[in-house]
Amino acid sequence: MHIGILTGGGDAPGLNAVIRGITVRGRSQEHRITGFLRGWKGVIENTSIELNLNNVRDIHMQGGTVLLSSRTNPIRVENGFEGISSTYRDQKLDCLIAIGGEDTLGVASKLNEQGLAVIGVPKTIDNDLSATDFTFGFDTAINNVMKTLDMLHTTAKSHERVIVVEIMGRHAGWMALYGGMAGGAHVILLPEVEFNTDEVCDLLVKRYDEGYRYGIVAIAEGAIDPDLQRHVMHSAAKDAFGHVQLGTGIGVGEVLKNEIADRTDLETRHVVLGHIQRGGCPSAFDRVLGTRLGVKAIEMAEKGQFGKMTALRGTEIEAVNLEDAVGTLKTVPLEQYETAKLFFG
Ligand code: F6P
């Protein structure tokens, strides 16, 4: 078979493990593996490299993606879908494996509806894709958040300060929740649950009054205080998939820091974790998960299971319908947030 691969959207640690998994398993069956560069852009423009055992050797240990990534949306590119179809024909592709999140896999799902052979592999540090228990990249990212919070505790404590930490997650607060819980945040604020700045201040003041004279507030970049409505104050810029570019300009973390400083006597600082969260080497979990997903994707291609996505279900890797994975974001269930709240303050 001739199988193409692309990596689209924000990079996530573990992408290279998937690429290596696909290539090593694919070459063992003598399939030809072509890696398209820069996500959908590379498929539209037919820009690719041949993948073989030499150029994927040990890459599972590296973060990022050797195939590069972009947020190119074929719908926004003139004749984008025609470009993809002609690349299929010119390259005589039997299948394209799209490794990406909601946006990249949404395009894959549309191509499947148009009759092109596609398989999806779920990727995102946000962990907000439906139909899979976890996405690769998430584990590394929450470990990065946790390690940073560990560091912020010592400096916040020494200066008796509040530090507000803005964590990625525009529509789903998985990273703030898991990173915040692991890193001992005293308050965690998510996009799923509107928060109240006065309540956050009261909780912090009470903590100081009880003698615990510092505080760490973990806030997802998409969290909203209904009074402040800070979402609208972010940069007006949108990416090719129409998402507001949070984390640029003044963000909700800085806004909340200013509000806490205004409403209390507590000395307050803020930190935006930004792209640090998805940088660096993948965790052991993401290396192994990425490898298993890649190998499964090739097995699915051999069986002709197109229009499907590899998914982690419990401890098994299964094939699920691509359309079940896209369309509805997987947000944090309230019960999980209630568990976290037991440890606030
Ligand atoms: O989708 C992954 C993600 O890291 C989000 O958490 C974040 O909001 C966004 O990408 C940032 O996008 P960019 O890398 O384009 O700034």
Mean pLDDT computed over every residue of the chain: 95
Closest by CA to 341, choosing from 188, 115, 198, 162, is: 188
Quote the pTM value.
Answer: 0.95
On whether both 46 and 154 belong to a single domain, the answer is no
Q: Is the distance from the beta carbon of residue 256 to the nearest atom of ligand 1 less than 6 Å? A: no
Residue 196 in this model has a pLDDT that exceeds 60: yes
Residue 285, classified by CB atoms within 10 Å of its CB into exposed (0-12), middle (13-18) or buried (19+), is middle
Q: For residue 215, give the H/E element and its range.
A: strand 215-220
Q: Please tell me the predicted confidence (pLDDT) of residue 246.
A: 61
Total domain count for the chain?
A: 2
On whether both 162 and 263 belong to a single domain, the answer is yes
Q: Is the distance from the beta carbon of residue 191 to the nearest atom of ligand 1 less than 6 Å? A: no
Residue 39 lies in a domain: yes
On whether both 155 and 245 belong to a single domain, the answer is yes
Distance 244 CA to ligand 1 centre (A): 10
Q: What is the CATH number of the domain that holds 149?
A: 3.40.50.460
What's the rounded Cα separation, in Å, for the pair 43 and 23? 18
Q: Is the distance from the beta carbon of residue 137 to the nearest atom of ligand 1 less than 6 Å? A: no
pLDDT band at 232 (very low <50, low <70, confident <90, very high): very low
Q: Please tell me the predicted confidence (pLDDT) of residue 136.
A: 98
Distance 10 CA to ligand 1 centre (A): 6
On whether both 75 and 143 belong to a single domain, the answer is no
On whether both 100 and 221 belong to a single domain, the answer is no
pLDDT band at 285 (very low <50, low <70, confident <90, very high): very high
Q: Could you tell me the residue range of the domain that residue 272 belongs to?
A: 139-279
Told to judge if 126 belongs to the known catalytic residues of this protein, a careful annotator would answer yes
Q: Which of 11, 126, 128, 139 is catalytic?
A: 126
